[in-house]
Structure 1
Amino acid sequence: MTRLPVIEPELTPRPIDPGVRIGHVHLKVADLNRALAFYNGVLGFELIQRYGTRAAFVSAGGYHHHIGLNTWESAGGRPPAPGTTGLYHLAILYPTRAALADALRRLIAAGIELDGASDHGVSEALYLRDPDQNGVELYWDHPQDEWPRNRDGVLTMVTEPLDLRGLLAAV
């Protein structure tokens, strides 16, 4: 463990730099080949690097990696029991509604069941589980100027059923 220097806490927390983004997520998986079959074969991420049977890194668009998959502590393991802490889901942002519709077509072709599908007003989302039962959200954002807001300008997100047939028509 690295010891950090001692500094006085700030009385008023400062907001994080607005340019900060989540760079990647690293998932413990039980079977690397099974995980790659899902993230590469079904979702279409590109395999960037593989460390034998223990780890792999996948991405979209040539980035060094968006998702790391490893069996370092989890080879042959079971998913966490319900009611325990851990990852709720990872969310994968698609650039367009048509790209999300293509993802839905991939899921249907692979016979993958959805846990849910919602229109949140700000986004449309598909919810599912990967082979290790990690929650996965596939979504696209509506343009920000279309996001629902109250008269004070505060976002008013909703959870309404998503019309899957309408989404598929976007391809």
Structure 2
Amino acid sequence: MAAFRARRREVPMIRLKKLGHVQLRVADLERSKAFYRDVLGFRVAEQDPNHGDLFMTLGEDFHTLDMAQDAGPATGRGAARGIGVAHIAFQVGSYEALGEAYRTLLEHGVRVERAMDHVNQRSIYFQDPDGNRLEIYYEMPGALARFPDGRGDQNCELAVTAPGEPPPAWLSERWPPQA
């Protein structure tokens, strides 16, 4: 691996626009395809049996996710592997959508590992069938301005309410965020 050295501020940074795609090596391509399609709502963009990769998308981009069958034995699980992908995060557009994502995961038998309040966003964490750690989050309006105040990460209960119901009293001061 090439060494990285911090540079002085005069050196311009790369101007990235957004996360393009993530490639995962998976133990069972068809099982992973079913999970990302049926649980998380990805659509198959291309699956070429000659090439071996499966490309899936969430929106207008050609692909958001590229999966390839691992040729060797399955390795460690998720972030426990050490160097590699720690987690992949997917943003939802509202607090209600985060609650719906939580309920959907449970309905599919997916164990949600934790819910976390990051001060500027609310997240849930879980694993795909190969142990890759995933996050679904809702970012509060003004999140960037809140970030310098400190993360203050803390585990929390996810207030899963029906659409239109107010959040529980313990959460009402901070969540859902006010514009």
Q: TM-score, normalised by structure 2?
A: 0.75
Q: Does 1:22 align with 2:15?
A: no
Q: Does 1:99 align with 2:101?
A: no
CA distance in 2, matches of 1:107, 1:51: 29
CA distance in 1, matches of 2:163, 2:94: 10
CA distance in 2, matches of 1:102, 1:42: 12
SS where residue 100 of structure 1 aligns? helix
Is residue 96–residue 140 contact of structure 1 (8 Å, CA) maintained in 2? Answer: yes
Q: Deviations over 1:101-146 (max 9, x none)?
A: 2211210111110121101111111111111111111111001168
Q: Does 1:78 align with 2:77?
A: no
| Structure 1 gap segments, 5+ residues each | 1-9
CA distance in 1, matches of 2:26, 2:54: 11
SS where residue 115 of structure 1 aligns? strand
Is residue 101–residue 170 contact of structure 1 (8 Å, CA) maintained in 2? Answer: no
CA distance in 1, matches of 2:71, 2:84: 17
Supply the RMSD in Å over aligned alpha carbons: 2.5
Is residue 88–residue 134 contact of structure 2 (8 Å, CA) maintained in 1? Answer: yes
What percentage of aligned pairs have identical amino acids? Answer: 29
CA 1:37–1:83 in structure 2 vs 1: closer, same or farther (change >3 Å)?
A: closer
CA distance in 2, matches of 1:79, 1:168: 38
Q: Give the AA of the match of 1:77.
A: P
Is residue 97–residue 140 contact of structure 1 (8 Å, CA) maintained in 2? Answer: yes
Q: TM-score, normalised by structure 1?
A: 0.78
